Structure 1
């Protein structure tokens, strides 16, 4: 059992375990410390199990309009316990896969909770072992990938009790299906849970503090998303400030102020989805620079402490698994002296509700605010042949170009499986594609991705099918 490594990674989420694999591939002796489950929140209590739930909800919801496809099924029903069991099984499978990868790449896994102490050439890692006792290891470099946890606001009662007030973790594995929910926050987490529980029949109300849902998205997408979710029966309170969450005999009572007027929202459960808090406990003693709790890093993920890197949620927004993995790879390669390509690739955002939402780069409003002569194009799925044939006509694709250079600088989508389509635009922006490049690409027919072509054409008055 070694005490010295080239790299020690703290946290085995999608940033940490990928960083460890890449470091090992580059010939660095590597260890990884994890206090709970390999795969971190993403694989065990976030990205992966939520998608399993959403798939169950999507299929069940489709049963209600099978007649439009010429099909029929009698008395559709669901077994909530089995839906949860399947989701947990998917998470367990994925976590087991990470254990295999660690073994394959000869990465030592240390189970326990780490804290940093001053050392040279990098901080020492002192681990309270899960099995008992402690262990101190020294590395030439340490990568901090400790992630984040759900934000609570005790002053208003927004604190998980695992019963009536939930965070994402509680919402992933409840004991029974709630009949009604209030969801506080309309970001990706809040909207995905609202979509899942509504698909199974719960009465759902989403509360958002600002003047539109999904506020990080393009305004047109936000508007279309709210309309689509309301059509499915989800209710919204927009521009609403939550003042108190009280537990009652039958559930919760959520006090909100909307336009200066007080309202009471009642439900069996309340999901608090109002952001995250970085896990930076145990780093104070090494003099690490923080900004509102997040670790400050440079473009190579280096901190102000020699030999210490930070990646993923603990290092700030966007709080996305693929951003963490990208940073983890770059940090490992920078340590090894390997030149990383495409360091500045844009980070796409995806929400896996029904309908899905995906975006990358500038919104139209942000581009104009930055002084860019923005040219926007749009194309609706309702006139896309594949979408019509599949019965998935809701939504559209929107592109944003720099009017002076022709460069694609943003793309925004809402509709069926747009989270798969967005990667085409991510690649285009990374490769600095212009409108000429995108106009000249041949798209397979019939595909929903043809809407990407048409939206690019529309920005320059060349759209073909509308």
Structure 2
């Protein structure tokens, strides 16, 4: 084959695209990746990874202001925002370079530019690549995987201007710490930014149109998160609507209706975090059988679109909008192309994590959704205050909640709030994937002393057997 002919072309080098390309190469398929911006995509460069670096800095700042609880004291505690931001960008840059190394190691051809479908050449699909409006190359392959991701949804009147109203990009690289901030949207992105800026000392207000924050989480966990954030000094306005917005010289005044009252709130900066839209434009989908539903490409259980030889993965292909789901889809898609037997993704087995303080994590059905299916359920709860490691760490606030099918013992869902729960949730994800029941989970030995013991206790609690509460 020439350098323009491949077995698979992946359009987009994010966590779905680059993983799909590496797996394809491992399976002996000649593979190309077309990426218009940065290898690693939004997640690695402007999302998952750099935000965790920022959140780590904010956790340290919070800890430094509570040294007395651990027997230490320090004076004149301060931070250098420029260094905090530079560390975050350095982490992102290091990992982006790592992706480039992995692709090179696996002999994946990388093309710098914007790729779009450009018809067919016999049984091969053509992908035209341009850079800054100029043609770069035309590649062909029998299989093309679209992995172009998504971007922030923009509400009328809340268009980011790079100065007073921020998108996630501006929020990650502030040149000065705002004294006050309003976050529109209380999903994972909004709450993580709210948590970062609050722990760095800003006064933070969160506005959510629905009746509770973190609305995709179990209601009990959402309520505990609300209580924890309010205790930290956040103002949380739910069932709220934003009206008139007025930009001042160096602040923004917003009219917010909540609880039957309308108030004007003036803050230094506003962060808009109200969801995402798929990057479906300019992909050459016109005239194809690819279907789009609310800005996302429709796929089947093997990531196939309605157009033969064209696939879609990750945020482009719909919820859950998570990097690990995109990576898993990439592997699944490529292995299906290679003729391997694959298991379709069960969305209920995809864990979700929010890296606020306290952390929130979940997998499977909430208690309400489980009951809505008509099943009888058994629910177990275990608080962190009953766990020795959590108390020793100074992290006694938290809860692990399990939801089981009362008749079969199937673990329907697990929901957590507290320290390190984003690391622990995988245990329940494995249990769901392996179709374990309460019997196997009860018999599993959890190491002591660890916070993960709360997971065991939450299982025991569902069957009236909790030992430490």
* TM-score of the superposed pair, with normalisation by structure 1: 0.97
> After the TM superposition, which residues 246-395 of structure 1 pair with which residues of structure 2 at under 5 Å, given as runs?
246-283=246-283, 284-285=285-286, 286-340=288-342, 343-344=345-346, 346-395=349-398
Does 2:165 correspond to 1:165? yes
SS of the residue 2:439 aligns to: helix
Runs of 4+ in 1 over 6 A off after TM superposition: none
* CA distance, structure 2, for counterparts of residue 261 and residue 465 of structure 1: 45
- Which of residues 455, 462, 465 is equivalent to 1:462? 465
> After the TM superposition, which residues 3-22 of structure 1 pair with which residues of structure 2 at under 5 Å, given as runs?
3-22=4-23
SS of the residue 2:18 aligns to: helix
Does 2:421 correspond to 1:418? yes
> After the TM superposition, which residues 432-451 of structure 1 pair with which residues of structure 2 at under 5 Å, given as runs?
432-451=435-454
Match of 1:25 in 2: 26
Does 2:86 correspond to 1:85? yes
TM-fit CA distance, 1:124: 1.7
Match of 1:76 in 2: 77
Gaps of 5+ in 2: none
Match of 1:123 in 2: 125
* CA distance, structure 1, for counterparts of residue 245 and residue 151 of structure 2: 20
Match of 1:60 in 2: 61
Deviations 1:303-353 (A, max 9, x none): 000001100000001110000000000001011112235744710000001
Match of 1:195 in 2: 195
* CA distance, structure 1, for counterparts of residue 31 and residue 55 of structure 2: 36
The alignment covers a number of residue pairs equal to 464
* CA distance, structure 2, for counterparts of residue 114 and residue 241 of structure 1: 39
* CA distance, structure 1, for counterparts of residue 327 and residue 96 of structure 2: 16
TM-fit CA distance, 1:246: 2.3
TM-fit CA distance, 1:174: 1.7
* CA distance, structure 2, for counterparts of residue 355 and residue 253 of structure 1: 29
TM-fit CA distance, 1:227: 0.5
Label 1:287 to 1:117 Cα distance change in 2 as closer, same or farther (>3 A).
farther
Deviations 1:202-255 (A, max 9, x none): 010000001110000000100000110111111111100122332112311122
Match of 2:145 in 1: 143
* CA distance, structure 2, for counterparts of residue 84 and residue 235 of structure 1: 25
TM-fit CA distance, 1:68: 1.1
Question: Are the counterparts in 2 of residues 122 and 308 from structure 1 also a CA contact under 8 Å?
Answer: no
Question: Are the counterparts in 1 of residues 186 and 213 from structure 2 also a CA contact under 8 Å?
Answer: yes
TM-fit CA distance, 1:153: 1.5
Question: Are the counterparts in 2 of residues 148 and 279 from structure 1 also a CA contact under 8 Å?
Answer: yes
SS of the residue 2:113 aligns to: strand
Label 1:35 to 1:235 Cα distance change in 2 as closer, same or farther (>3 A).
same
Question: Are the counterparts in 2 of residues 379 and 398 from structure 1 also a CA contact under 8 Å?
Answer: yes
* CA distance, structure 2, for counterparts of residue 434 and residue 29 of structure 1: 42
Match of 1:222 in 2: 222
* CA distance, structure 2, for counterparts of residue 31 and residue 354 of structure 1: 40
Match of 2:179 in 1: 179
Q: What is the root-mean-square deviation of aligned Cα atoms in Å? A: 1.3
Question: Are the counterparts in 2 of residues 10 and 146 from structure 1 also a CA contact under 8 Å?
Answer: yes
TM-fit CA distance, 1:261: 2.9
Question: Are the counterparts in 2 of residues 421 and 449 from structure 1 also a CA contact under 8 Å?
Answer: yes
Match of 2:42 in 1: 41
Match of 1:406 in 2: 409
* CA distance, structure 1, for counterparts of residue 343 and residue 226 of structure 2: 38
**Mean Cα deviation higher: 338-347 or 391-400:** 338-347
TM-fit CA distance, 1:2: 1.5
> After the TM superposition, which residues 222-241 of structure 1 pair with which residues of structure 2 at under 5 Å, given as runs?
222-241=222-241
Question: Are the counterparts in 1 of residues 128 and 135 from structure 2 also a CA contact under 8 Å?
Answer: no
* CA distance, structure 2, for counterparts of residue 93 and residue 130 of structure 1: 26
* TM-score of the superposed pair, with normalisation by structure 2: 0.97
